[in-house]
Amino acid sequence: MFQGAAELSLDAKGRLAVPTRHRDALASGGGAIVLTAHPDGCVLMYPRVAWEPIGSRVQSLSSFNEQARWWQRLLVGHAEELELDAQGRILVSPALRKFAGLKKNVMLVGQGSHFELWDVEAWEAKLAQALAQAGSAPPPGTENFTL
């Protein structure tokens, strides 16, 4: 399970050193990792074995539906398969860096089955917005949820 948040740095070539504690789990299932775009403006990072059913499901959406086509273009069209290098780094492509506005400082945010990569400034703005709305109605399915 991928959890926690860490501020990391992209090097000049766009490589990101994955924290040691997550490397083995990310490399499970043959070592391949998939990066892709997310509609919220971040980059998703999945172990390939976790991404495969999601990618297949998105590809099975009807191409006659305009919204489905855009999901396919975004999620499948931007998907890139890669592996950790010997130093435990991944290369975030220029296209995905541009899509998510990733500069030098990024947030790696665990989401259970995967990670999100956010530009630090974008993350802080989204987090502030979410915290400001925290007193409003809870998300569906959490009405009886206690922390």
The CATH number of whichever domain residue 59 belongs to comes to 3.40.1550.20
Beta strands, E only, the chain: 5-9, 15-17, 32-37, 43-47, 80-83, 89-91, 105-110, 115-119
Average pLDDT of the residues in 102-129 = 96
In a domain, 55, yes or no: yes
When comparing pLDDT for 4 and 30, which is higher? 4
Whether 144 is covered by a domain: the verdict is no
Residue 137 within a domain: no
Total structural domains in the chain?
1
Predicted pLDDT of residue 118: 98
For residue 139, being part of any structural domain is answered with no
Domain-embedded: residue 65 = yes
Check pLDDT > 90 for residue 25: no
Average pLDDT over residues 3-16: 96
DSSP 96-119: HHHHHT--SEEEEEE-BSSEEEEE
On average, the pLDDT of the chain sits at 90
Domain hosting 88: range is 5-132
> Highest-confidence range of 56-65, 73-82, 98-107, by mean pLDDT?
98-107
Average pLDDT over residues 107-131: 95
Instruction: Tell me if 147 is assigned to some domain.
Output: no
Q: Is the pLDDT of residue 104 over 90?
A: yes
- Domain assignment present for 19: yes
* Structural domain contains residue 138: no
